[in-house]
């Protein structure tokens, strides 16, 4: 399986965001995970399409994985598509019409994904999985970086991987929250292929060192090589 590491810029230094993203990509990260919070669906407020567009203008060419923790979702989707988003994922409970929102993301030229909180059941996947490019399982409750991994999400990962295989699909399975070198191996063994890591990556090394992310990304890859 091709594994992808997606550092969450939520834990980056926002005062130097372009440089932070350049450094983490140079260190071998595959995807930029972009957490959008609205102080309504989740109790925190972060960044929007202008920042996504600024990263593209800065020269970022890697996929940008926009994780919408906003309600409602539809209004903001075309803005993120114009701003250069690659994936746009949303929480099913934040949309009145899940199928319509998936279609809107696709029509806007982006790759749609659904995000499931730790206690959210997976039943909507019965009717949506074949329309998605990504399933994102939250292994913390959304809103903040640096929380502890919730282990029952491993069972959900195994279940989603089984569904993807049974249907012969090539949907990515991503996990978000509390992932680091100590647990990435067991997460991969549960069938996950794309790993968000915020505090584990951006908390690494000394702030002044542009190569400070090399060793943490290498440590994550070394664990993945053991699968």
Residue 35 is a binding residue for ligand DX5 (CB under 6 A): yes
From the list 24, 36, 66, 67, which residue makes contact with Zn ion (rule: CB under 5 A)?
67
The catalytic site residues sit at 35, 176
Q: What is the distance between the alpha carbons of residues 67 and 149, in angstroms, rounded to a whole number?
A: 18
Residue 143 is a binding residue for ligand DX5 (CB under 6 A): yes
The alpha-carbon radius of gyration of the chain (Å, integer) is 16
- Classify 98 in phi/psi space as left (phi over 0), alpha (psi -120 to 50) or beta: alpha
Name the residue nearer to Zn ion (CB basis): 90 or 213: 90
Name the residue nearer to ligand DX5 (CB basis): 169 or 185: 185
Q: CB neighbours of 100 closer than 8 A, spacing ≥ 6?
A: 74
From the list 145, 190, 192, 213, which residue makes contact with ligand DX5 (rule: CB under 6 A)?
145
Residue 146 is a binding residue for ligand DX5 (CB under 6 A): yes
Contact 11/36 with Cβ under 8 angstroms? no
**What sign has the CA pseudo-torsion 98, 94, 187, 20?**
positive
Near Zn ion by CB under 5 A, which window of 65-73, 94-102, 148-156, 204-212?
Answer: 65-73
From the list 33, 156, 161, 212, which residue makes contact with ligand DX5 (rule: CB under 6 A)?
33
Q: What is the distance between the alpha carbons of residues 30 and 117, in angstroms, rounded to a whole number?
A: 24
Q: Which residues pair with 38 in a beta bridge?
A: 45
Residue 142 is a binding residue for ligand DX5 (CB under 6 A): yes
Name the residue nearer to ligand DX5 (CB basis): 16 or 130: 16
Residue nearest to ligand DX5 (CB): 198
């Amino acid at each position: 399986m091709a594994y992808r590491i997606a550092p969450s810029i939520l834990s980056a230094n926002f005062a130097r965001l372009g440089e932070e993203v350049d450094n983490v990509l140079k260190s071998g990260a595959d995807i930029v995970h972009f957490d959008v919070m609205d102080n309504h669906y989740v109790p925190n407020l972060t960044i929007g399409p202008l920042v996504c567009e600024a990263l593209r203008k800065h020269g970022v060419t890697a996929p940008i994985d926009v994780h919408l923790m906003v309600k409602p979702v539809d209004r903001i989707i075309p803005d993120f598509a114009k701003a250069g988003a690659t994936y746009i994922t949303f929480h099913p409970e934040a949309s009145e019409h899940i199928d319509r929102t998936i279609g809107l993301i696709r029509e806007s030229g982006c790759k749609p994904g659904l995000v499931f909180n730790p206690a959210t059941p997976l039943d909507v996947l019965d009717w949506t999985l074949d329309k998605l490019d990504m399933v994102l399982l939250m292994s913390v409750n959304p809103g903040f970086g640096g929380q502890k991994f919730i282990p029952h999400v491993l069972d959900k990962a195994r279940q989603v991987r089984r569904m993807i295989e049974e249907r012969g699909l090539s949907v990515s399975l991503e996990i978000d929250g509390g992932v680091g070198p100590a647990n990435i191996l067991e997460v991969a063994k549960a069938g996950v292929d794309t790993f968000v890591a915020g505090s584990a990556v951006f908390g690494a090394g000394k702030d002044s060192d542009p190569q400070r992310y090399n060793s943490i990304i290498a440590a994550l890859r070394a664990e993945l090589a053991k699968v």
